[in-house]
Each structure stands twice: as C-alpha cells, then as structure tokens.
C-alpha cells in the first residue's frame, strides 16, 4: 500500500444479510443472527403498493429493541423513482449506519445523496454504500469510487449486484462466473484504489450449500471483503470464508513482531523465515490481525432460521 493510499475502514463485512423491510417478523429475527451487517431493503424485495408499509415497519423496528453488534444499512429506492425521497426522509429520521443506493451508474448518483445528508445535518458517521449492478456502473466504478472518497461524499462500500448485471448483459448464470470475473475484478481495482470495501453479490439458491461455499471461496480469492446474503443459512459459511485462517494470523503476528524488534528499526525490508518481507507486508499484517481481533471480540449469538 502506498503512502498516498486512502486508509480503509476496519469494519467487519463478511456476512451482509438482506432482509425485506416488508417482513416485520424477519426484521425481529435479525437480533438473534450472527451476521456482521443487515441491509433493510426498501427496494427490490418490496412491491410498489407495499413501499409505505415497509417504511412504517422500519420505523417500528428502529424504535424498539436496539440491534446491537451489527451494522445497520437501509437500501432505498432510487431518488429518480416515486419513492426515493420518502426513503431518504426515513433514513434521515432513523439514522442507520449507512444508506445503500441501488443501481449507481455515475458519481452524481452518490453525490446527490451525500448532498441531501449534508443539507439535513446528518452526522458524518452516516455513510453511503453503492450497488454496482449495471453496465454503466461497472464502466464508471473507478470514477464513482474516486468522487466518493475525494469529494467528501461519505462513500464507504461497493456491493455488486450480479442479478441485474446478468439481466442487462445477457451473461448466463454459470458456475464459476467465468464471464463475470473481469467485471468483478474491475470493482476490486476501483475500491482498492480509493480505500473502499467490496461486497460480493448474492447467491440465489440458499439450499445449494456446496455451490455457495465455492462462490464464497472464489470471492475471497478475488479480494472481496464479504458477501451479500439472502438467507440466514448462508451466514456461517460467509463468516468462515471471509475470516483470516489461523495460519495467516500466526504469520501476520510474526511479521509484526519482526518489525517491532530493535534490529529492524529504520529498515524497509527484512528477512523472516527465509522470505523477504517489506513494510507493505507489515501494513497488511496489522490489518489482518486487527480484523481477527474484531472477529474474536464479537459476541457469539444464537442463530435462528428466518422463515
């Protein structure tokens, strides 16, 4: 990581569960789930005639027992729709951790919401996530990330939406996602250039456990921080795949200890166990150990199926 690279946040985003805001029973069950974050969805999973009811459900839920130990994200409808501004008024009133914008095509989509939050004096802690799920979104991923980080627009995370992207491009939903990998990696380049997190797309069949596990491993190998989920049955696998393993943690701790040794003072390159280690590896090791610490500190809670 260069000295000019933005500092990424250290939030856990291994498992990001999407829950329809229209389903109040499902909302209540999120208290007992071991996911890192919950997306309260007002968009695709809510029928047009149910939008107002879904907003009322979120008012009820947020006024009740606090949802602890999880990030709270509200996915709104596009500002250009008939529901977007009412959704934003709800976000400003409820003040979740983040607002998720659907079908982000260009930087202005993010800046418009950032301006609304600023005009409403929303705290800087209320962040923005962006769904990258259209051809224009993929083509403009770097520009969106750059504007989101350099113009003070609160942008923290990209979430890839492959269902819409497949629909608009005609790419078939094949195992391995061969023809989608270039676009998935384009998102990774954009987020890493500007210090954002990246969440992989949903896997549609939660009963296909082995295929889901394979897709988690695939996303982790590409550099994604976590996966958007559609069912609690997927949480455990996502948490496991996107967490550092014990061998990686031990190696990271060795790197940190080696650079902390007085003999390494002032050195940018050292030798450890027969390998050349640079200070950039120290930065990576510190990030990994911090992530492992966050995971270990998380309270283990009972996981219940969402029906």
Annotated binding site for substrate, which residues? 75, 133
b/e string for 246-279 if b means 16 or more Cβ within 10 A?
A: eeebebbeebeebbeeeebeeeeebeeeeeebee
Count helices and strands in the chain by DSSP H and E runs: 12, 10
Residue 93: helix, strand or coil by DSSP?
A: helix
284, with CB counted inside 10 A (0-12, 13-18, 19+), is middle
* Numbered residues of the known binding site: 75, 133, 164
Residue 95: helix, strand or coil by DSSP?
A: coil
Q: Are 145 and 158 in contact (CB under 8 A)?
A: yes
Q: Are 97 and 75 in contact (CB under 8 A)?
A: no
**DSSP string of 33-64?**
---SEEEEESSTTS-GGGHHHHHHHHHHHHHS
* Numbered residues of the known binding site for Mg(2+): 133, 164
Picking from 249, 163, 265, the residue whose alpha carbon sits closest to that of residue 204 is 163
Half-sphere exposure of 163 (CA within 13 A, CB side): 10
Task: Work out the end-to-end distance of the chain between its first and last CA atoms, rounded to an integer number of angstroms.
Answer: 44
């Amino acid at each position: 990581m260069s000295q000019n690279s933005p500092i990424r946040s250290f939030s856990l985003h291994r498992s990001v569960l999407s829950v329809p805001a229209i389903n109040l029973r499902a909302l209540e069950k999120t208290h007992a789930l071991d996911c890192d974050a919950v997306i309260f969805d007002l968009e695709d999973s809510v029928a047009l005639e149910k939008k107002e009811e879904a907003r009322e459900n979120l008012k009820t839920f947020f006024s009740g027992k606090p949802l602890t130990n999880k990030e709270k994200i509200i996915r709104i409808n596009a500002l250009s729709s008939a529901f977007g501004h009412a959704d934003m008024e709800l976000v400003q009133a409820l003040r979740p951790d983040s607002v998720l914008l659907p079908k982000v095509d260009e930087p202005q989509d993010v800046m418009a919401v950032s301006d609304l939050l600023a005009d409403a004096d929303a705290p800087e802690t209320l962040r923005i996530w962006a769904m990258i799920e259209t051809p224009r979104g993929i083509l403009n991923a770097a520009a969106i990330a750059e504007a989101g980080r350099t113009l003070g627009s609160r942008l923290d995370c990209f979430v890839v939406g492959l269902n819409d992207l497949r629909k608009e491009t005609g790419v078939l939903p094949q195992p391995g996602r061969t023809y989608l990998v270039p676009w998935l990696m384009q998102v990774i380049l954009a987020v890493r250039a500007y210090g954002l997190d990246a969440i992989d797309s949903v896997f549609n069949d939660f009963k296909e456990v082995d295929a889901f596990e394979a897709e988690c491993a695939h996303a982790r190998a590409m550099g994604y921080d976590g996966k958007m989920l559609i069912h609690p049955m997927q949480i455990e696998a996502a948490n496991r795949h996107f967490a550092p393993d014990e061998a990686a943690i031990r190696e990271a701790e060795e790197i940190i200890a080696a650079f902390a040794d007085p003999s390494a003072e002032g050195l940018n390159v050292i030798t450890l166990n027969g390998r050349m280690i640079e200070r950039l590896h120290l930065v990576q090791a510190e990030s990994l150990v911090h992530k492992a610490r966050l995971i270990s500190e998380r309270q283990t809670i009972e996981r219940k199926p969402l029906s």
